[in-house]
Amino acid sequence: MSYPSLATRTAVVTGAASGMGAATARLLAAGGARVALFARRTDRLDALAAELTAAGGQALAVTADITDQSSVDAAAKAVHDAYGLVDLVVNNAGVMLPNPLSEGRLDEWTRMIDTNLTGALRVIRAFAPDLAAAAADGRTADLVNISSIASHVLFPDYAVYGATKAALTQLSAALRTELGPRDVRVSTIEPGLTDTELGGHIDNTELRGQLDGMFTTIPALAAEDIADLIAYTVSRRRHVNLRQSIVLPTRQA
């Protein structure tokens, strides 16, 4: 689907090296947006930027680790130097590491909190002034946070992951009270079962098998489905905020 209103936008997409982030970057660039690609895997980013540029788009590969404040600061400077102010931020980077809470996996808890919540906050801190300035100038300004149905649907052994996503959903709601009066839209997308690399991070054999079983029985969403929803959300007229969207495979309850 085509979204002509994207042609005037300058976007940052985190977690752009694969999955929903890469699909979103492709769709935004195809619509004419200038897209800064954030992720840790430089080779993947460079390949995607080359692909988008070859297709006639504008893309900037920016190696960034959102769990590191200095890395986010440097990445923001690179975007500002290349493109100026940003008016669209897609906070997509995330990690899912389920395990029974009784295992006490502090390493996994820390990684999920640092990426899914604190990392998102670092990106918001870096670009919220841009969004407010763009809105004050009469432009459309969007912050899109990619949460999960795990923010409100309970899954055994996903307690910490679900808690980070619930916090992100709540953060988005709170930010609407701060940024909405300044004409900055804040939207939350909560996908259900989606075919991305997220499940590849799981080192618990039993839980990985359960997830694989779900993919066998339920036709999952594709990353492109989420990208299309994001593009639709940010393409509404600037006074319309699709504040929270839950998107599931048809067969998922």
Whether 161 sits among the annotated catalytic residues: the reply is yes
Q: How far apart are CA 222 and CA 252, in angstroms?
A: 14
- In this predicted model, what pLDDT tens digit does every residue of 186-211 receive, in sequence order? 999 999 999 987 667 777 888 878 88
- Reference 122, options 71, 175, 173, 66; nearest CA is 66
Strands 244-247 and 194-195: unpaired
Structural Rg of the chain based on CA atoms: 17
Task: Name residue 244's beta-bridge partners.
Answer: 188
Q: How far apart are CA 115 and CA 189, in angstroms?
A: 17
Q: 3, 158, 161, 232: which is the annotated catalytic residue? A: 161
Backbone angles phi, psi at 157, to 5 degrees: 75, 5
Burial (0-12, 13-18, 19+ Cβ within 10 Å), 35: buried
- pLDDT at position 62 is 98
Residue 79 and residue 64: Cα distance in Å, rounded?
11
Is 234's pLDDT higher than 80? yes
Backbone angles phi, psi at 94, to 5 degrees: -165, 165
Check residue 75 and give its pLDDT: 98
37 beta partners: 13, 61
At 185 the pLDDT is 98
CA distances from 157 to 27, 150, 207 (A): 34, 11, 8
Domain chopping of the chain, boundaries? 4-246
Residues of the chain with pLDDT > 70: what percent?
98
CATH 3.40.50.720 fits 4-246, yes or no: yes
pLDDT in tens, 45-78: 999 999 999 999 999 999 999 999 999 999 999 9
